[in-house]
Structures are given as structure tokens and as C-alpha cells.
């Protein structure tokens, strides 16, 4: 009896080992296949990704530059400051922690096609789209916070703080390196509108369109609202900075999303280019179509029908030949 139990346990363990090995093999094949697909997409769209990443540096450089113009002063009257209790300087990390979770969650979601069977997006194409939204929103943000510099409500931006004013830079290099990450965390003057809300709303809107879990979409919007409240409660932004971000980012995403071609359906297996063809590609395509016309071939594949010449006439198909032959008394 004891031997039979041991034998059944060993047999079950062996089956589990085989199952795990088989599933691991499938997962590895899936990862390799997805990697090949994404590399091909990356080769076609690397310029757009690089441009988007370069603009992230430009945005950081602009935020660093406006810090040199910042002049601390009395905190402006703000409705959010009256309604929301101040978290305090020692609890300012709460909003940053939530934002880090939002960023990391979205990043992991964009890479889920490498692991899961059910997939709706291509990672490269989604990030091309996300960067387009971010660049447009950040461009408007740069124009806005350079137009008017408000006194920062954050603790390190108030009168008496050593970080509220930046001394004149000793060299251009000091400005270009933007003192990352300290210069980004302790920046002042780049208020209208909130950069944290730009990222948050772009991520939420993207998942709203391409995500598959309805409950996660609802949770994402709830988290975005909580993030907004925490930013104001932490006194990192005025309420107007958050409010302007809500309608500006939504409008930017709405209009740019209409201009960009829709992402391909993963079930079809087609890989169209995300952005419009370049002038060079269009010219080569036009030349190819003209050459087909000169050779007597139609550009439209649906019009590729066999043609036969009878009595000096070009007929579309065999049925036409019989009809014409009968009419001519042949």
C-alpha cells in the first residue's frame, strides 16, 4: 500500500515536471516570436521613438531653465488648498509613490504581448503613439509655464528655502546636464500644467482604448483622480495646474489620435506602418504603379482579370469571347 502511494506521487510529480517543461517551452517560443516581430517594427519606427525620447530631455531642460527665472513669493489663494488638508513635507512621497506605481504598471502592460497569448497591441507601436501624445502635451506645457512664472507652492520653492532660487550657472554644461535627478525632483516654476498629470492621463487614455479589462479601466480613472488630489494636497501644484492638465491632455489625445492611423488588429497578422509613408516611399510607390499601368496591368488587384484580344477588341473573360464570336457568325 505504501509503495503504491509513493509510486503515484512520483508519477504525479513526473507529469507536473513534463507539464511545466512544455509550458516553459511554449512561453520561450512566444517570447522569441514576439521579439522578432517587435524588432522589425522597431527598425521601421525607431526615428519616431528616438524623437520622442529626445524631446523628453528637451522638456526636462526647459523645466530646469525656468527654475532660474523663478522668484519665490506668497502662496496664491487656491480652492484646492482650502478644501484638501495639507499632507506635510514628510508625507510628500505618497504622491510620488503612486505616480511610480502608475508608470511601472503601464510599462509592464505595454510589454505583456511578450508573455501572454491574448494580445491586442504591438509594444513599439503603442509607445510611438504614447510619445506623440506626450510630446504635444509637453510642448504646450513649456509654452505655458514660460509665459507666466507663478511662485511655487512646494516647500522647497517657498521664501527662505535655499532651493527656491538657482544661482547663475557657471557654464552652459551645468544647464545641459539639468542636475538629474535632483534638479527634476526639486524644480520650481514649471507649474501650469502638471507634468505628472500629463503622464498619468496619457497612460489612462491609452489603456482605456487598448486595454481589455473593464474593471482595470475603471480603476485607472479612479487612480488618476486620487493622483490629482494627492498632488494638490502635497502642495506640489496649484489646483489650476491639475485642472488645466485634465482638459488639455484629453483634447490633445483626442485630436492627435484622429490624425494617426489606427493600430493594426493582432488577429489579422498585418504590420502596417504607424505613421504616414515618407515622401521617398510615396514616390517609389507611385513609380511602381505607373510602371504597372505602362505594362498594361491594373494597379487594383481586384481588376486583375484575364483579357483576350478578339477581332481587335480586348475582352474581359472567356464568356465575352463566346458572345462576340457568336455575333460575328464564327
d(CA 10, CA 264): 48
Is 196 in the active site? Answer: yes
Task: Write down the catalytic residue from 241, 281, 317, 324.
Answer: 241
Q: Are 211 and 109 in contact (CB under 8 A)?
A: yes
Task: Write down the catalytic residue from 70, 237, 257, 322.
Answer: 237
CA torsion, ordered 131, 137, 143, 144, to nearest 10 deg: -150
Task: Write down the catalytic residue from 59, 67, 70, 196.
Answer: 196
Q: Are 67 and 189 in contact (CB under 8 A)?
A: yes
Closest to 260 (Cα-Cα) out of 274, 271, 248: 274
Is 78 in the active site? Answer: no
d(CA 15, CA 242): 56
**Which residue numbers are catalytic?**
196, 237, 241
Amino acid at each position: 500500500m505504501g509503495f503504491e502511494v509513493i509510486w503515484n506521487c512520483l508519477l504525479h510529480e513526473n507529469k507536473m515536471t513534463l507539464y511545466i517543461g512544455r509550458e516553459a517551452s511554449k512561453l520561450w517560443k512566444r517570447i522569441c516570436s514576439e521579439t522578432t516581430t517587435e524588432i522589425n517594427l522597431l527598425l521601421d519606427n525607431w526615428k519616431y521613438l528616438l524623437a520622442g525620447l529626445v524631446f523628453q530631455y528637451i522638456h526636462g531642460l526647459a523645466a530646469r531653465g525656468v527654475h532660474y527665472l523663478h522668484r519665490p513669493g506668497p502662496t496664491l489663494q487656491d480652492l484646492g488648498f482650502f478644501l484638501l488638508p495639507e499632507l506635510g513635507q514628510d508625507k510628500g512621497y505618497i504622491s510620488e509613490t503612486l505616480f511610480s506605481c502608475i508608470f511601472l504598471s503601464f510599462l509592464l502592460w505595454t510589454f505583456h504581448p511578450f508573455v501572454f497569448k491574448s494580445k491586442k497591441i504591438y509594444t513599439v507601436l503603442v509607445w510611438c503613439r504614447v510619445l506623440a501624445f506626450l510630446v504635444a502635451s509637453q510642448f504646450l506645457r513649456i509654452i505655458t509655464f514660460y509665459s507666466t512664472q507663478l511662485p511655487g507652492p512646494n516647500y522647497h520653492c517657498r521664501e527662505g528655502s535655499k532651493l527656491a532660487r538657482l544661482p547663475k550657472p557657471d557654464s552652459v554644461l551645468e544647464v545641459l546636464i539639468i542636475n538629474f535627478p535632483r534638479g527634476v525632483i526639486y524644480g520650481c516654476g514649471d507649474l501650469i500644467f502638471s507634468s505628472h498629470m500629463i503622464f498619468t492621463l496619457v497612460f489612462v487614455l491609452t489603456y482605456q482604448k487598448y486595454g481589455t479589462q473593464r474593471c482595470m479601466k475603471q480603476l485607472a480613472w479612479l487612480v488618476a483622480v486620487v493622483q490629482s488630489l494627492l498632488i494638490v494636497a502635497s502642495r506640489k501644484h496649484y489646483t489650476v495646474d491639475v485642472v488645466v492638465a485634465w482638459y488639455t491632455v484629453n483634447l490633445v489625445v483626442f485630436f492627435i489620435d484622429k490624425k494617426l492611423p489606427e493600430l493594426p488588429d493582432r488577429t489579422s497578422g498585418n504590420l502596417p506602418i504607424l505613421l504616414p509613408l515618407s515622401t521617398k516611399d510615396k514616390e517609389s510607390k507611385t513609380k511602381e504603379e505607373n510602371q504597372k499601368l505602362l505594362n498594361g496591368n491594373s494597379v487594383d488587384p481586384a481588376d486583375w482579370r484575364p483579357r483576350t484580344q478578339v477581332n481587335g477588341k480586348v475582352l474581359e473573360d472567356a464568356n465575352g469571347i463566346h458572345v462576340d464570336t457568336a455575333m460575328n457568325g464564327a
